[in-house]
Amino acid sequence: GAVVSQHPSRVICKSGTSVKIECRSLDFQATTMFWYRQFPKQSLMLMATSNEGSKATYEQGVEKDKFLINHASLTLSTLTVTSAHPEDSSFYICSVRGASGELFFGEGSRLTVL
């Protein structure tokens, strides 16, 4: 299956700053990547679908100006949490879709906003 690398695994920042999370598909060319958010002991919430070379598709209720997604190449998608606030603290996970329809996930990035 595909190997997905996510960086950083943990980040702590001050309120009002922006944080960038990278998602790399190491052995798989991904025209599409998915960004999820997970609160403690809860399910994954699909935030947006990242499309290589075009705009991301955001799920209802997700602020696109707050969560900027860039998918500049077939192996890299980035999620930038702009002007982060404590309520943005969460576990963010990216994934790519394999040829058989399964999802391969990164290890996740835990964001803590102070």
Partner 1 sequence: SQQGEEDPQALSIQEGENATMNCSYKTSINNLQWYRQNSGRGLVHLILIRSNEREKHSGRLRVTLDTSKKSSSLLITASRAADTASYFCATGWTGNQFYFGTGTSLTVIP
Q: Which is nearer to partner 1, 11 or 82 (CB)?
A: 11
2: closest CA among 21, 30, 22? 30
Q: Which is nearer to partner 1, 42 or 73 (CB)?
A: 42
* Least distance between partner 1 and beta carbon 56 (Å): 12
Phi, psi of 91 (to 5 degrees): -105, 120
Summarize as ranges the residues that interact with partner 1 (CB under 8 A).
1, 4, 6, 32, 34, 36, 41-44, 46, 49, 91, 93, 95, 97-98, 100-108, 110
Q: Which is nearer to partner 1, 44 or 68 (CB)?
A: 44
Q: Which is nearer to partner 1, 16 or 107 (CB)?
A: 107
* Least distance between partner 1 and beta carbon 73 (Å): 18
Is there a contact between 106 and 36 (Cβ–Cβ < 8 Å)? no
- Sign of the alpha-carbon torsion through 100, 44, 32, 9: negative
* Least distance between partner 1 and beta carbon 1 (Å): 7
Burial 92-106 (b: 16+ CB within 10 A, else e): bbbbbbeeeeebbbb
* Least distance between partner 1 and beta carbon 110 (Å): 7
Is there a contact between 90 and 10 (Cβ–Cβ < 8 Å)? no
